[in-house]
Amino acid sequence: MIITVTLNPSLDRTVEVDHLVRGEVLRARGTHLHPGGKGVNVTRALLANGVPSRAVLPIAGSDGQQLVELLAAERVDAVIVPVSGRTRSNITIAEGDGTVTKINEPGAALTAEELELVVARALADSHPGGWVVLCGSLPPGVPADQYAQMTRRLADAGVRVAVDTSGPALAYAVTAEPDLIKPNAEELAAAVGRPLSSRADVVAAARQLRDAGARRVLVSLGSAGALLVDDDGVAVGESIALTPRSSVGAGDAFLAGFLAAERSAGHGRAALATALAWGAAAVQLPGSQMPGPADIDPGAAHVLPAEDLDARLDEPLVGTG
């Protein structure tokens, strides 16, 4: 079973409009409400495809209770840790051309005692050799090295750790030597402190984070595909060009696909193609709905042959994220 930990979960409301115009009264074409938070989405995607997963998350207030009800409606295996404060709500505005505008609340602060309860549950539900995925932003007041601390504790218990976060939390987490990190291009650029204009730049940045401690670096590049840097070298994957309906949660579906494929196939390059197929399916769905088997086309993605790799690394990045 793959365990996910989401310290800053949310209610995710998506409003679909033809075109966003500031200062105007707009009519929505549709609205969607889903349970949110990166780890929650990873678990939702895994469960939708028959892969055992359990989400561990703190819950507070009436919005938190609504989140619990949404998880129950989707039959999501969730461990709820009651905390004080209020679970956040996030708003996404999705335009007809695929442009997405997000407004994310900061979330409720967690005390040291509440954090320990979450960590203890993750440790209790994990097992040696299994995966725990630490996902998303940190709530206000939580130390920036929280994921690093958790990674070390889980590693000491023989658990493999994947981290999907950004900013200082990512920088600290890398030093704890996680088995896998999954930044997007923007997050990777922030981590190394320089712009990334080509796949070659992404490879160099990923290798820098490997030198700093991360064992493998899986980078989502939006319409430019994805890239994996590990002990076997570099793999680049691409997916078919799509006009997205909503990109919310696509990176989470991408990570879920990678972990699911590794669980069954055990090979990073095959897993990269599966991850891209899951991510491509997610952008075709409304809100943060996660794709199931009927939504996923395995032929929608492929990994570039080794002989083509050098010629493609210098291509400029377009539409990354």
Residue found by looking up tokens 């200082």 in the block: 168
Q: What is the mean pLDDT of residues 266-294?
A: 88
Task: Kindly state the average pLDDT of the residues 98-126.
Answer: 92
Indicate whether 321 pLDDT > 70. no
**Structural domain contains residue 128:** yes
Mean pLDDT of 190-197: 96
**Torsion angles phi and psi, residue 293, rounded to 5:** -55, -35
Q: Which of 125, 252, 308, 310 is catalytic?
A: 252
Report pLDDT for 191.
Answer: 97
Helix (H) or strand (E) holding 290: none
Measured CA to CA, the distance from residue 31 to residue 45 in angstroms comes to: 20
* Domain assignment of residue 185, given as a range: 2-313
Distance of CA 241 to the CA centre of its chain: 21
Amino acid at 259: L
Q: Is residue 48 part of a domain?
A: yes
Percent of the chain with pLDDT over 70: 97
DSSP H or E run through 58? strand 53-59
Task: Decide which of 147 and 108 is more confident.
Answer: 147
Picking from 139-143, 270-274, 285-289, which range would have the lowest pLDDT averaged per residue?
285-289
Write the burial class of residue 223 (CB in 10 Å: 0-12 exposed, 13-18 middle, 19+ buried).
middle
Alpha-carbon distances of 212 from 53, 176, 209, rounded to whole Å: 29, 9, 5
Q: Is 147 in a helix, a strand, or coil? A: helix
Average pLDDT taken over every residue of the chain: 92
Tell whether 112 is covered by a domain: yes
Q: What is the pLDDT of residue 174?
A: 98
The per-residue pLDDT for 241 is 64
> CA triplet 80, 83, 85: central angle to 5 degrees?
130
Q: What pLDDT, on the 0 to 100 scale, is given for residue 136? A: 95
Cβ of 321: how many Cβ atoms within 10 Å? 16
pLDDT of residue 318: 67
Task: Please determine, for residue 71, whether its predicted confidence score (pLDDT) is greater than 80.
Answer: yes
In a domain, 144, yes or no: yes
User: What's the total number of domains in the chain?
Assistant: 1
In a domain, 319, yes or no: no
Predicted local confidence at residue 32, as pLDDT: 86
Note if 252 is an active site residue: yes
Query: Does residue 150 form part of some domain?
Result: yes
pLDDT at 320 over 60: no
Count of CB atoms situated within 10 Å of the CB of 163: 25
Helix, strand, coil shares, percent, the chain, to 5:
40, 25, 35
Instruction: Please state, in angstroms and rounded to a whole number, the distance separating the CA atoms of residues 49 and 92.
Output: 25
226-248: pLDDT as tens digits: 999 999 999 999 988 667 777 77
**pLDDT value at position 285?**
87
Residue 321 falls inside a structural domain: no
Q: At what angle do helices 199-212 and 306-313 cross, to 10 degrees?
A: 100
Selection from 293, 283, 252 nearest residue 50 by Cα: 293
Question: What is the pLDDT, as a whole number, of residue 60?
Answer: 93
The DSSP H or E segment spanning 227 is: strand 226-230
**CATH number, position 153:** 3.40.1190.20
